[in-house]
A and B are shown apart, each in its own frame.
Chain A
């Protein structure tokens, strides 16, 4: 792919920070004419931010981006579009109240600076044909299901006739057969010499189509190389599986054999999804009092959906959830905290414009927790002395790690029986993750059961009693943490690759 002429896209020492958070850090790479570059990395690695930077959605903090020899950073998205870059969004952004064909016409008229409606309409139908959406051309885009929306994203990106196409998770959230269809589209484009950058969580897709792969973590480049070399790269494997721990740092706190404990949460054969998109298939799991249970899966495996299903935030299409023997379906989502289930949500979701203390006090919402809130607060300050130091500071001014501590503290203020940690290590530095993980056994000793939802395999297995591996909405492996650590299939399950 490398040639004498200058590359199509040059990203040079690009940095983007949001306050203290560095989303993209000193990133440099090229994309050549006709090349397909894959980008992978855990959630929060800065992949979508990178696309936003290339498209001019936000200014760079440092560095430069050149396209076809011209500087494009600082230009507006519509100017960049005119120069020949098209993109799709991870979460489809259709014009909901326009027909499917009109959605494509927008790009044809504006992206290619034309004004005749009739030819644009005809061309739009041709493009829709290539993504198999022609039969729905006259429907409102808002009526489409997820697969069709992804097809429409593709069609719209193509409508501007881009020299470089940015595809963000074009297969995300789709089932096997659907992924294949979109892969076929990528193949077709590639065979026509289309230059592309692809962000993808379905790693097989990425490995199959990319000439080179850029692996990112914490906004920085981990590796950039051909797919086979990436698959062997130790550092990359570590990111996905977590570093192998020298020893099991924390010994399980379970004193009474697990089998003899009461089941507090039982999930039986549930299915759930969003509209036409099914996210969970026949999932069962149980949590017993005093356990640490890990739920492990890559992005898009259905972990968050499972959390929502368990906490009554989305309806189930099959199966049921019982909490201490009672069917949860008869409760409302807002009853969940009163019942004794607290969540520490992905992305922390703290109240930015309230002080640390106010954030914590809001956590003590159930009556019994309210009565004991001063004791609980004292205990939380013992767990996280940093929070006491910053009690009067606004939540939004804390660092990422402190915010995570605050989110945990707030969840604990409700004095829950079960606490759900949803990706608490996301976007945090390893040292801080260590600190937070050390707290978990103390919480369990204090009488709270823990459900740990994680991408990071080794770290979560290092602390859990038992674990479930979730893959494309199904539980594919389960067992004690020890058994799973020794199981080599995990790597396959994770990468979806036939490891050599």
Chain B
């Protein structure tokens, strides 16, 4: 599907440069939207690695996100660690959680894995609500004034978005990427060719959780106040799955296209709450029905008809 004639790295650099200039344009609303855009990109790439490239349909990504957020909050608020250290701890805590849940969940395949992760995430949410040490349902508040300014948070999140995209691009060209995709396409076939299914899946899930945990941690810092109902809410998972499917599962730029689409749609529909979910749902159905590789796959298909982007061979 990937065409050799265009360079993914060139596209990534171009997108990065454009986004990096957003704060200097002086429009705070643009910066506000751009922040949520890069957050969605980073989180979507995290899901894309497992959902799109490994065939592990995780419905528990809200848990990775939430653990990152809380681990960062505990480090920064309770233990008064530097903010950056808190973020990294957020990512690591989420990675550790991925390691723990791999043993029970990897026994399941397909829809059972999806349901297993969903149940685990919900169970964790309920546990967090009842854990008084971290504030229970009241959640935690960062002392006002701690952390970065909005521009700072934007650049950190942009870094995560670009970093995770670049990481995925690197992984796909490596041995790990070959193994992941083989597992996605045919697990038995992959195993017969020597792929250690468990280890490979675990590696993918841990990388994915690390990214998701970092995103959650940084976002918690920017929010300033977190509580378990919404930080661990399934809305995060639903959102990220929508973005990746609409943009194009198992493609590098699909999640970026999906994130642009969903972020702008959500923003445009802010006055009509609830409706954006209906519209997103309808679009999701249309995409699944008519664009198996999402919007980005569709764009690629169209681009191939233009000679600049190479032949129509495939």
**Chain A interface residues (CB < 8 Å from chain B):** 55, 57, 76-78, 81-82, 86-87, 89, 93-98, 102-103, 105-107, 109-115, 117, 139-140, 143, 156, 159-160
Q: State whether B250 touches A78 (Cβ < 8 A).
A: no
Interface-centre pick from B175, B182, B190, B193 (highest chain A CB count, 10 A): B193
Check: B186 CB closer than 8 A to any chain A CB: yes
Bound-state CA distance A45–B283 (Å) is 49
Among A89, A98, A115, A160, which residue has its beta carbon within 8 angstroms of that of B182? A98
Hey, which chain B residues are within 8 Å of A82, CB to CB? 194
Interface-centre pick from A109, A111, A139 (highest chain B CB count, 10 A): A109
Q: State whether A102 touches B178 (Cβ < 8 A).
A: yes
Beta-carbon contacts under 8 Å, B170-189 to A: 173-175, 178-179, 181-182, 184-186, 188-189
Q: State whether A111 touches B193 (Cβ < 8 A).
A: yes
**Chain B interface residues (CB < 8 Å from chain A):** 1, 173-175, 178-179, 181-182, 184-186, 188-197, 250, 314
- Besides A97-B1, A97-B250, A156-B193, 15 other A-B contacts (C-beta < 8 A): A57-B188, A77-B188, A77-B192, A81-B193, A86-B192, A89-B189, A94-B186, A95-B185, A97-B181, A98-B182, A106-B190, A110-B179, A111-B193, A117-B175, A159-B193
Q: State whether B185 touches A98 (Cβ < 8 A).
A: yes
Bound-state CA distance A281–B303 (Å) is 41
Interface-centre pick from B189, B195, B196 (highest chain A CB count, 10 A): B189
- Identity of the chain A residue whose Cβ is nearest the Cβ of B193 in the assembled complex: A107
Tell me if B's interface is mostly helix, strand, loop or mixed.
helix
Hey, which chain A residues are within 8 Å of B188, CB to CB? 57, 77, 93
Q: State whether A95 touches B190 (Cβ < 8 A).
A: yes
Hey, which chain B residues are within 8 Å of A55, CB to CB? 192
Hey, which chain A residues are within 8 Å of B189, CB to CB? 89, 93-95, 156
Bound-state CA distance A76–B193 (Å) is 11
Shortest CB-to-CB span from B252 to chain A, Å, is 14
Hey, which chain B residues are within 8 Å of A112, CB to CB? 194
Q: State whether B193 touches A93 (Cβ < 8 A).
A: no
Hey, which chain B residues are within 8 Å of A117, CB to CB? 173-175
Hey, which chain B residues are within 8 Å of A114, CB to CB? 175
- Identity of the chain A residue whose Cβ is nearest the Cβ of B199 in the assembled complex: A78
- Identity of the chain B residue whose Cβ is nearest the Cβ of A56 in the assembled complex: B191
Q: State whether A106 touches B178 (Cβ < 8 A).
A: yes
Bound-state CA distance A490–B22 (Å) is 80
Hey, which chain A residues are within 8 Å of B250, CB to CB? 97
Q: State whether A81 touches B192 (Cβ < 8 A).
A: yes
Among B178, B185, B186, B195, which residue has its beta carbon within 8 angstroms of that of A78? B195
Q: List 10 A-B contacts (CB under 8 A).
A: A78-B194, A81-B191, A81-B193, A96-B186, A103-B182, A107-B193, A112-B194, A140-B1, A159-B193, A160-B194
